[in-house]
Amino acid sequence: MSIPTIVFRHSIATRVLHWLNALCVFLVLMSGLQIFNAHPRLYWGQYGANTDHAALEMTVGDPAKRQPLGMLRIGHHEIPTTGFLGVSRDGGGQLIERGFPSWATIPSYQDLATGRRWHFFFAWVLVFSSGLYFFIGFATRHVQRDLLPTQGQWSLKGIARDFWDHVRLRFPAGEAARRYNSLQKLAYLVVLFILAPMILATGLTMSPGIDAGFPWLLNLFGGRQSARTLHFVCAMSVVLFIVIHLAMVVLAGPLNELRSMITGRYVLPPEEVK
């Protein structure tokens, strides 16, 4: 048995803002699904309402049938989703017409007004907390040092190797675990520099007030309804990121990973003895 190497991995700012942002992201996501449920249809272009063509729709398959049938329609593809999308059980176990199910929304019951209150309050918190994260991240060179890929990591070969290692659930150990691997860096960079700004900008484009002051936003995204669709797609991409992020934490050693994000201390996984 070798003595485990403990490294100081995350600064206090990273740790505090990680948990604050994590809380806010969950709350804006789930209150966002509540808002989506008020009109579970997505369009492309400047306008879009019930009689217009929807790019995506959550609906009831055949209302005439005795058992309601939940349906997700994307373009011309229809996917039966009873119990999850379109039709799901409410708190009392009754099947009801609903875009996303009650366990995915804040509040759990249909209440657009309250969902909006949660959404906008925690969106504001997120603007300040992620603004602080970006400021500290750049000022302390955390972003430049830890998140930007090194020259070797930029190569397709390096990314492909890291990808296969991940597929085989082989994670960096020893010295290599001191820094993020190329896939981790890519994932964090996509969230920070593509998804987060996109979500903010498309969210603002949905505001009729902001559109008056910044009409170029409408040109940039091709209209308010396109912006709403992109807002949704980017939010779902964040959900995908969270699912993979949590899976990786569990697979890479949840206690060590969790501790490093709480106390900052991380035990370098020992290299396998062949």
Partner 1 sequence: MTSRILTRRQMLLRGSTAFGGLLLAGCDRLSNSPSFRTMLASAEGLSYRAQRLLVGHNALAREFKESDLSPVFRSNGTSDPDTPSYNAMAADGFRQWRLKIDGLVARPQELSLDQLRTMPSRTQITRHDCVEGWSAIGQWTGVPLSAVLTMAALSPSARYIVFYCADILEVGAAPYYESIDLIDAFHPQTILAYDLNRKRLPVANGAPLRLRVERQLGYKHAKYVMRIEAVQDLSPIGGGKGGFWEDRGYEWYAGV
Residues that bind partner 1 (CB under 8 A): 27, 30, 35-36, 38-39, 41, 43, 46-52, 102-103, 106-109, 111-114, 116-118, 120-121, 123-124, 206-215, 218, 224-225, 228
Report which DSSP code applies to 10: S
To partner 1, the closest distance from the beta carbon of 253 in angstroms equals 14
Q: Which is nearer to partner 1, 29 or 143 (CB)?
A: 29
Name the minimum Å distance from CB 181 to partner 1: 25
Residue 149 Cβ vs partner 1, minimum distance, rounded to whole Å: 33
Token pair recorded at residue 240: 């995908």
> Which residues, in sequence order, are bridge partners of residue 267?
6
State the Cα torsion 209-214-220-221 to the nearest 10°. Answer: -10
> What is the identity of the amino acid at 270?
P
Q: Which residues contact 155 (CB under 8 A, 6 or more apart)?
A: none
Helix (H) or strand (E) holding 173, with range, is none
Nearer to partner 1, 46 or 263 (CB): 46
Q: Minimum distance from CB of 169 to partner 1 (Å)?
A: 14
Residues in the chain: 274
Taking the least distance from each CB to partner 1, the nearer of 107 and 197 is: 107
Neighbour count for residue 249 (Cβ, 10 Å): 15
Chain position carrying tokens 């290692």: 165
121 vs 188, which CB is nearer to partner 1? 121
Question: Closest separation between CB of residue 120 and partner 1, Å?
Answer: 5
DSSP H or E segment with residue 101: none
Helix, strand, or coil (residue 72) = strand
Our CB check for partner 1 shows the closer of 52 and 62 to be: 52
- Looking at the Cβ atoms of 50 and 94, the one nearer to partner 1 is 50
Cα–Cα distance, 127 to 133 (Å, whole number): 10
Which two tokens mark 167?
């597929």
Least distance to partner 1, CB of residue 10, Å: 23
